[in-house]
Amino acid sequence: MLLASGVSIAGTRIATIALPWLVLSETKSAAYAGLVLTAEMAPYVISKALGGPLVDRYGPRRISVVGDLLSGAFLVLIPILYAAGQLALPDRLPLLLALVALAGAVRGPGDGARNAMIPGVAETVDMPVERITGLDSTIDRASGLLGAGVGGLLVTAFGAAQTVTVTAAASFLSAVVVAAFVPHLRAEHSEDPGTYVAQLRAGVDYLRGDSLLRSILGMIAVTNLLEAAYVGVMLPKWAFDHGYDASLVGLVGVLYGGAAVLASVVATTMSGSFSRRTAFLTGFAVSGPPRYLALALGAPLWLILAANVVAGLGAGFVNPTVNALFFERVPRHLVGRVGSLADAVAWAGLPVGGVVGGVAVTALGASPALGVAGAAYLASTVVPGLRPEWREMDRARTGVGRE
């Protein structure tokens, strides 16, 4: 499960660098670059929300394999059509957006399915769910680190369109790993096989009734919007304006991801021995603003790189904490649909993040837009944590998700 997840995440991170850079380099338009991210993430978020009942009904293993295979099939068409001269930009931008949208639509349920495997894995290997989520988060960070570094190098060496081939290959490999090596886990299927609409409503009702999860997801939705604007538009535009190529974008991702991997290892090793609320809020407060403000204030390159290291150290404590909390609070038979809905809420800002970033950069310029985003990120991570329900984060831990 961890290998399949890592391969898929690395491939996705490569595409996150390659696709905006392809559009930006050929059209010189930050707005168009942001539109590519929107085209992928809007159907991704919607399909992930609607795919939860399918995960609970048919099992995460099957949905994961199908999602990866279809996503890879759509993505591999991008370098093929580009090489054949059928994807010249900006004239053929609608075709590129359509392919990216289709890939995002089928990838959403597949990604949600892999996450839904975690309680079954924890039960099968008799390991606390907090340890499994920590390992999963570490693999997530390490894969993002690898993808960022490889993506920047591949774009510089071979071109952005050709680099998308690696993302397609990663999707195919992830499908093979799950199909060949991940068994059907116990209690993988839903215990209440009602209609699709009834199953979807059950997930919505549960999420609506949990005020802590709702508050956390609202906070993450805002920061994800800002992060999408930063990664997809603001950082590439800043690098482009200052005479750097895609390798700088990759280097920044490597430093941020590398520090996050180290912090995630520490969080996994120390799971259960620190305050979740403190780790989560502190981690978020330093994971975004230092990176944004260093660029906005025109800091020297060494300080910009150092800010990414500091931000990564904070980010490494976030995912293990919130993922363990989720699996402890959500009943086992609802994990697929509630998890998919939760991800959709948390990522609701991603489809518009690229557009917001493009508009902000066009209207203000890259540096002022980064300053505004950094201030907004800090405010969005401090204010929600003052709510009283956040004290529930430090309640007694349990082993795996509830039945």
Report domain extents, the chain. Answer: 2-179+195-394
Angle at 252 between CA 251 and CA 255, to 5 degrees: 85
Coil, helix or strand at residue 398: coil
Instruction: Please answer whether residues 33 and 241 qualify as being in contact, where contact means their C-beta atoms are separated by less than 8 angstroms.
Output: no
State residue 104's pLDDT score. 93
State residue 318's pLDDT score. 84
Structure tokens at 96: 């590129």
Helix axes 2-27, 129-158, angle to 10 degrees: 30
Q: Is the pLDDT of residue 171 over 90?
A: yes
Structure tokens at 7: 């391969």
Burial label for 278, CB within 10 Å (0-12, 13-18, 19+), is middle
State residue 16's pLDDT score. 85
Structure tokens at 107: 């990838």
Q: Is the pLDDT of residue 170 over 90?
A: yes
pLDDT in tens, 59-116: 889 999 999 999 999 999 999 999 998 988 888 899 999 999 999 999 999 988 888 8
Instruction: Specify the higher pLDDT residue, 190 or 86.
Output: 86
Q: Is the pLDDT of residue 259 over 60?
A: yes
Instruction: Please answer whether residues 175 and 273 qualify as being in contact, where contact means their C-beta atoms are separated by less than 8 angstroms.
Output: no
State residue 395's pLDDT score. 64
Mean pLDDT, range 116-142, rounded to an integer = 82
The model's confidence at residue 130, banded by pLDDT at 50, 70 and 90, is confident
pLDDT in tens, 342-385: 888 888 887 788 788 888 988 898 889 999 999 999 888 887 77
Instruction: Please answer whether residues 38 and 351 qualify as being in contact, where contact means their C-beta atoms are separated by less than 8 angstroms.
Output: yes
Q: Mean pLDDT, the chain, as a whole number?
A: 85
Mean pLDDT, range 41-55, rounded to an integer = 88
State residue 188's pLDDT score. 46
State residue 376's pLDDT score. 92
Q: How far is Cα 99 from Cα 285, in angstroms, rounded to an integer? A: 36
The model's confidence at residue 319, banded by pLDDT at 50, 70 and 90, is confident
Residue 403 CB-half CA count within 13 A: 4
Q: What is the CATH number of domain 2-179+195-394?
A: 1.20.1250.20
State residue 185's pLDDT score. 64
State residue 192's pLDDT score. 55
The model's confidence at residue 398, banded by pLDDT at 50, 70 and 90, is very low
Q: How far is Cα 206 from Cα 212, in angstroms, rounded to an integer? A: 12
Backbone φ and ψ of 90, nearest 5°: -90, 0
State residue 187's pLDDT score. 45
Amino acid present at 152:
G
Mean pLDDT, range 266-280, rounded to an integer = 77
The model's confidence at residue 399, banded by pLDDT at 50, 70 and 90, is very low
| Of 125-139, 176-190, 298-312, 315-329, the least confident | 176-190
The model's confidence at residue 294, banded by pLDDT at 50, 70 and 90, is very high
